[in-house]
Amino acid sequence: MTATLSLQPPLAEGLARYGFGPLPLAALKARYASAESGSKFIHVDGFDVHYRDEGSPDKPVLVLVHGVMASLHTWDGWVTELSRHFRIIRLDVPGFGLTGGGQDREYDGERLVRAFGMFLDRLDLKHVSIAGNSLGGYIAWNYALANAHRVERLILIDPAGYYMQKVPLMIASAVLPGAGIMMPMWMPRALVAQGIKEVYGDARKIKPGVIDRYYDISRRPGNRRAMIDIFRVLVKANREELPTTPNRVAALKVPTMLMWGERDRWISPRHVPMWQRDVPGIEVKVYPGVGHIPMEEIPEESAADALRFLHA
């Protein structure tokens, strides 16, 4: 529970129980990035990137990139299923997880893609397959677009890239009057819990401890401010016309698989035909009753489909 992480004076501890203020970074690292878990940190482009290097070191490399509000823990099920077949690298995307935000507060798509590429360079990963979800999918396909010679195969899971027909309330709230002042100071657990329920097709599949984890990590020092900044970038991008997106997507030269939850409330499965139109030969898997994060909601089934595609 979040209260167990508090190492603060009584008044601060009392406020922390109601969602005010950050949690101590040391306590968060002890719980979610212990040495026993394999967590490591590396400085990349102004960020202390939290990552894990797991699986079979002599196998092909698979890099996993999560979406908004999430962390590398969203891939736990895939690591369990795929670690015998791959060397798996997963990271906390800048602005989220235990990586946290940067001093310059710049989080546009180009910056995140560049930081991702620098991360791969720091680990000397020259040939990889990449799986990305949501914002992580956007990072993955844009990186593959510019570095096709380094990407073996690409799995996009409910990826961002085209318009969201309706921006999720959690993201849209970032542009409300006063949100930039209030939300970094206070974000109730109920709001985080509602956001998680929205990204699952069936909320009954949320495992014990998952909501606590999302909530705890959202309270890493600086994360709420970074989250607001990133959400504002997403809202602005969604409002602007992106006439070059189909042409850019069509330039993908990497074998690509598209996974989508049929009950995705954040990025509609109506995007699937756009990807099929613009990326001839793309392999598509739509999961009935599943939401925005199939790799977390149905890890065994989605990992099995990923394994089949990656070994094709």
What span, in angstroms and rounded, lies between the C-alpha atoms of 259 and 144? 17
**Strand 61-65, strand 87-91: pairing:** parallel
* Segment 196-242, tens digit of pLDDT: 999 999 999 999 999 999 999 999 998 888 888 887 777 776 666 45
From CA 205, how far away is CA 136, in angstroms rounded?
A: 22
Collapsing DSSP to helix, strand or coil, 18 comes out as coil
* pTM of the complete model: 0.90
Report the alpha-carbon distance of residue 303 to residue 292 in Å, rounded: 15
Helix, strand, coil % in the chain, rounded to nearest 5: 50, 15, 35
Residues with Cβ < 8 Å from 208, sequence gap 6 or more?
Answer: none
* 273/280 Cα distance (integer angstroms): 11
Query: How high does pLDDT run on average in the chain?
Result: 88
pLDDT in tens, 1-10: 344 454 445 4
- The pLDDT, as a whole number, for residue 191 is 83
Q: Are 4 and 24 in contact (CB under 8 A)?
A: no
